Amino acid sequence: MRGKFITLEGGEGCGKSTQAKLLCEYLQAKGIETVLTKEPGGTEEGAVLRRLLVTGDKDKFDAVTECLLYYADRRQHLSKLVWPALEQGKWVISDRYADSTEAYQYYGYDKRIDYATLQNMYKIVAGEFKPDLTLILDMPPEVGMRRSFAKAADMATQELRFESRQIDFHHNLRRGFLEIAKREPQRCAVVNADTTIEILQQNIRQIIQERLGV
């Protein structure tokens, strides 16, 4: 039986990585073989692309170049990791997927790239494939940015290329994610992330039980 593909999306600092890990542990405790991954950077080759995409000058790529790099990472991620795992019956939990590209490169940049171009890139790379469930972790951008910068300071990370953008960019991101969820309610579930780690995970598990029966 084919596995399920679950993606976690949302703005900076909303807790996707932590929640993806906790969800993976929950599913494994249920006896489901689960793979935890991320975009960009879910493969060895993708890790190289990730360094290009999330570090350095915020304006070093134009919109089309940036999207092409994300989709190069995505194709490698799908063909090398996601699709083989699903065919083996494993469930795949991904910290970000294509909704992030749409939210960041289309809504965040205030439509600097044509929407049809973005959709065509997706079809070339993934065809009709989509996640079985997308959890959109929602919180006020100001809260998320505070969390994100605090985490970066603790970890001494240089992955701050998007955090360095003005707050309007992050409000656009939030609007984009919510519009995606409104457009595809059968696939997407919006979860309030402005709460504790424990309550957020509890709410995510409830959605998993309701939508996927586990």
Chunked mean pLDDT (size 10), the chain, 214 residues: 97 93 98 97 94 81 89 97 98 97 88 90 97 97 78 54 71 95 98 97 98 96
- Answer yes or no: pTM beyond 0.85: yes
pLDDT of the residue at 62? 85
The full set of domains in the chain, from first to last, is 5-212 (3.40.50.300)
In this prediction, residue 164 carries a pLDDT of 58
CB-based contacts of 182-187 (< 8 A; 24+ apart in sequence)? 184/134, 187/130, 187/131, 187/132, 187/133, 187/134
Alpha helices, H only, 88-212 = 98-101, 115-126, 141-155, 167-183, 197-212
Torsion of CA 21, 27, 29, 32, to 10 degrees: -130
Residues 6+ apart with CB under 8 A from 7: 93, 94, 96, 97, 99, 131, 133, 134, 135
pLDDT number for residue 55: 79
pLDDT for position 147: 77
CA separation for the pair 155, 57 (Å, rounded): 20
